[in-house]
């Protein structure tokens, strides 16, 4: 069955307007993922962004993924910026490695060290 035909009429028209072709959905791990070949991405970015809330769009060059348009939910600009910042990601990786090799402290101990009241759970 044509995946484009299975979309709701309004989204189908928008998908076609955005350059989405009949073969633009690929099955990945049991789910269909919308793909868009870079050379077919001729609509304004705003057109693609309007429809990303329905499903992510993976932009490809020669069938190889190079970028993705994904919806952002429950995040502010700072969160989005930090999630891709190389220095921040390096700090997180160092912390994870130290946690794995040296262990950590319980939330109860952290609250004690910070002089905070114990949480209601198991306190």
Do 27 and 59 sit in the same domain of this protein? yes
Band of residue 7 on the pLDDT scale cut at 50, 70, 90: very low
d(CA 114, CA 111): 5
Do 89 and 37 sit in the same domain of this protein? no
Last residue of a domain, one of 69, 89, 104: 69
In a domain, 122, yes or no: no
Domain with 61 in it: 9-69
Domains in the chain, number: 2
Residue 26 is predicted with a pLDDT of: 56
Q: Which position has the higher pLDDT, 43 or 1? A: 43
Report the chain's mean pLDDT, rounded to a whole number.
78
Do 64 and 81 sit in the same domain of this protein? no
In a domain, 62, yes or no: yes
Residue 30 is predicted with a pLDDT of: 58
In a domain, 2, yes or no: no
Do 62 and 83 sit in the same domain of this protein? no
pLDDT digits (tens, 9 = 90+) for 11-24: 444 555 555 554 45
Q: What is the pTM of this model?
A: 0.49
Do 65 and 81 sit in the same domain of this protein? no
Do 14 and 52 sit in the same domain of this protein? yes
Helix (H) or strand (E) holding 86: helix 86-102
């Amino acid at each position: 069955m044509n995946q484009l035909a299975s979309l709701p009429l309004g989204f189908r028209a928008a998908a076609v307007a955005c350059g989405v072709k009949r073969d633009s959905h690929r099955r990945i791990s049991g789910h269909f993922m919308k793909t868009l070949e870079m050379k077919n991405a001729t609509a304004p970015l705003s057109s693609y962004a309007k429809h990303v809330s329905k499903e992510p769009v993976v932009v490809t060059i020669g069938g190889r993924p190079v970028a993705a348009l994904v919806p952002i939910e429950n995040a502010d600009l700072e969160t989005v910026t930090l999630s891709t910042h190389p220095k921040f990601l390096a700090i997180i990786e160092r912390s994870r490695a130290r946690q794995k090799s040296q262990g950590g402290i319980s939330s109860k101990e952290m609250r004690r060290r910070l002089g905070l009241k114990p949480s209601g759970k198991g306190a």
